[in-house]
Amino acid sequence: MPFDKNAQRIAAIDWLRGIVMILMALDHASWFFNSQRIFADSVLLYEPGAQFAADQFFTRWITHICAPTFIFLAGTSIAISNFQRQQQGMSTAAIDRELLLRGAFIALLDIALFSFIGGKPVLQVLYAIGISMMLLAHLQRLGAGTVFWLAILIIAGGELLLMAWWQPGGETPFWLAITFAPVFGEQYSVLYPALPWLGLMMLGWVFGERLIAQQSAAWKPERLLMTCGWFALTLFVVIRGLDGYGNLFMHLEGNTLVHWLHVSKYPPSLAYTLLELGLMAILLSLLMRLESWKKTIHPNGPVLVFGQTALFFYLAHFAVLTALKPLFERGSLEQTYGITLLVLIILYPICRAYRNLKWRHPQSWLRFL
């Protein structure tokens, strides 16, 4: 699928982002309403020898792709948006200022809004996204090649720093918590330390630059994604099988599929990152092929609408889940899937109306959402 430099959006990216939003809604509906929900994706949360029901495990596992995909695609969208703004005559300084402002706004949503609701400081995915955007505003000046290798260094070498400075379950300095190591404490929690996720956004930005440049017809984006996806999955199998570096203390305890897929998300291990990026790349490649085959794309398809209003969806789905909480007791997994469907039905017209409003007022504060 060639990149159209005059197009405002790439449907495949919006489709994938929409799929991620749906899976995220399932995970958070499970958090609100699933009495048997599994949350053991870190050495800080997992008790060795624990047994997981397959349906509960895979309901949690399929949502692992959400954060890496959303953050990677955020980087891709930044590259494309910057290019389009340059084409419109916007200065580099103005483009950087927009990115810094949006990053600060998104990070503050976690620091202010969600921390206020949670009753203590809680730094989650919006913190990681916002800080990464602000850093990327400066890092992108280094050029695609340098940013790529810095991203690889962060993703592949982060565990070396943790092994030197971090002992799971021990005291974690605040500076390390906000950069590399998670904390689940009574005074504050950091689920998404910024720097591992910055590496993913940097990779996404490099891919966005590659989409714009289209330097080699022999390596179309779909083919590049498919090749990189299978390469990442192969590396995952090697690293998980060796069961040493790259697993962040989440070692294999058996040879079942559940054991192989039970990897560390908090913080993201190399095994986790390779697995999720590999699956994401293959899926995005297939969606790009689908986009090139389709003669027309329905502009109001639910997946597309959710993908085009992702940050608004993120905020709104929490409001809907909270509103539904008095109506349902915590219960079965089947109920969780039903509530997820209800949430999506409620959110579709709201997200569609918001999208139309945002597009009618492109320079309003709504651009930050």
For residue range 63-83, list pLDDT tens digits in order: 999 999 999 999 999 999 999
Q: How far apart are CA 42 and CA 194, in angstroms?
A: 16
Structural domain containing residue 256? 74-271
Q: Is residue 353 part of a domain?
A: no
User: Looking at per-residue confidence, does 294 or 38 come out higher?
Assistant: 38
Q: Is residue 321 part of a domain?
A: no
**Number of domains observed in the structure of the chain:** 1
H helix intervals, 166-309? 174-177, 194-213, 221-242, 257-261, 270-293, 302-308
Q: How far apart are CA 358 and CA 336, in angstroms?
A: 31
Q: Is residue 292 part of a domain?
A: no
For residue range 149-195, list pLDDT tens digits in order: 999 999 999 999 888 888 888 888 999 999 999 998 888 889 999 99
Q: How far apart are CA 38 and CA 124, in angstroms?
A: 18
Q: Is residue 217 part of a domain?
A: yes
Q: Model's pTM, two decimal places?
A: 0.93
Q: Is residue 31 part of a domain?
A: no
